[in-house]
Amino acid sequence: MKVLHLLATGSVGGIEVLCRDIYRKSTNMENIFCFVFSGGEIAEDMRDNGADVRVLNYKNKDILKLINYLYNLCKDEHVDVAVVHHGAPINHIALAVLKSRLKSLKTVIYSHGNIQDTLRENIKRGLYFRKFAYSMCFKRCDAVVAISESVKNSLIQRYGEQFGEKINIVYNGIDLDKFKPNCDIGMQNRQGSVNIIYVGRLFKAKGVDILVKSLAEISSEKNFICNIIGDGPEKENIKSLIKEYKLEDKVVLRGVQKNVPEWLNKSDIFVHPATWEEGFGITIAEAMAFGLICIAFNKGALPEIIDSGNNGFLIESVSEKSLSEKILYCIEHINDEELIEIRKRACESSQRFSIDKTVLDLEHIFNRLCSR
């Protein structure tokens, strides 16, 4: 079975990393990865490891050129399934046109976020065109892959119950060879500083400013350190908040780190303070694999990962005070049997989110489409 994956760029990002994992873990798919606008670090890494990578360097104005290129590629290479990953309108229009021109081709939208985020509805410029392109593609495609129940529900609410049957839920997966579950953690008492960690991009909806402000409410006498792993447009604001609240010895911006598993492995508490309706939370699954106590606001798909009080904690109220109270509770009770058991169950729960299972689920969906 030959599968074409259509992406906007090949730079470092969650979608691109997932596609790299799909290439590495596929057993029944022959994959072609087409990066419409530009390549990047992930695209180069995939190519260096033998993947069939096509970097087109097209612009939005090259829509007809893209359609013709993809039509010939699918026809000449006998592509069975074409999957669009990124939300760029040019990709959705191209997929919809391909479906009308190649009747045997099965087309799939891989929905990596709730529809509001996919369409970037907070940005008014070009919104009508984005809505039109996605709607046309959604209604014509053979199937949709949604990364959570939350994403599926957002699509049904937008486009109607009649499309529910074409939406398949496939959770994002982590590489359990890399994020090795250690379910025996926590039996020994923690001595010294409690290590708190955040991993992710630094933009407003991720709520890292709320995390910093919540830590400022915890007494300086409490022995903890918080490492913030990642980069983004909020970096300077976060740096200013750390200085304003005199947290330089408590909160450290570490930037982008390639050895994230090592950072997680030496941490105790993972805080994911996102304030938006997040489509999934792959970093939470990674942290759970190392038996970290995960704390997040009850938003989007996060209740599908964290069973509050069982394998982590969800907070109903989005505020610095409520987050601060939960972090303080975990610091003060880090060696209690209750939290040790939560850490063990977190580790066990993480094994639901294996990249091997993700790829097997995708292969099953694509095979089912091709057998129709």
Q: What are phi and psi of 198, to 5 degrees?
A: -125, 135
The verdict on 283 and 328 lying in the same domain is yes
Total domains, the chain: 2
Q: What is the mean pLDDT of residues 314-340?
A: 95
Q: Which residues pair with 8 in a beta bridge?
A: none
Q: Is residue 250 part of a domain?
A: yes
Q: What is the DSSP letter of 199?
A: E
Q: Which own/partner pairs from 351-354 qualify as long-range (CB within 8 Å, at least 24 positions apart)?
A: 351/176, 351/181, 351/289, 352/171, 353/171, 353/172, 353/173, 353/174, 353/282, 353/285, 353/305, 354/173, 354/174, 354/176
Q: Is residue 152 part of a domain?
A: yes
pLDDT in tens, 54-77: 999 999 999 999 999 999 999 999
pLDDT in tens, 138-186: 999 999 999 999 999 999 999 999 999 999 999 999 998 888 766 665 4
pLDDT in tens, 26-61: 999 999 999 999 999 999 999 999 999 999 999 999
* Mean predicted lDDT score pLDDT of the chain: 93
The verdict on 338 and 363 lying in the same domain is no
At 372 the pLDDT is 80
pTM of the model: 0.90
The verdict on 210 and 126 lying in the same domain is no
CATH no. for residue 360? 3.40.50.2000
At 258 the pLDDT is 84
The verdict on 244 and 345 lying in the same domain is yes
Range(s) of the domain holding residue 44: 2-173+354-370
Q: Is residue 183 part of a domain?
A: no
CA distance 47 to 25: 15
The verdict on 263 and 130 lying in the same domain is no
CA distance 31 to 48: 15
At 192 the pLDDT is 77
User: Which residue shows structure tokens 């939350």?
Assistant: 150
**Helical H runs in 4-104?**
14-25, 41-48, 63-77, 89-101
Q: What is the mean pLDDT of residues 240-255?
A: 95
Specify whether the CB–CB gap between 51 and 10 falls below 8 A: no
Q: Is residue 339 part of a domain?
A: yes
Q: Which of 327, 17, 320 is nearest to 174 (CA)?
A: 17
Rounded to 5 degrees, what angle do the CA atoms 44, 46, 51 make? 125
Q: What is the mean pLDDT of residues 262-281?
A: 94
- Assigned token pair, 20: 């790299």
Q: Which of 102, 100, 56, 99 is nearest to 77 (CA)?
A: 102
Q: Is residue 322 part of a domain?
A: yes
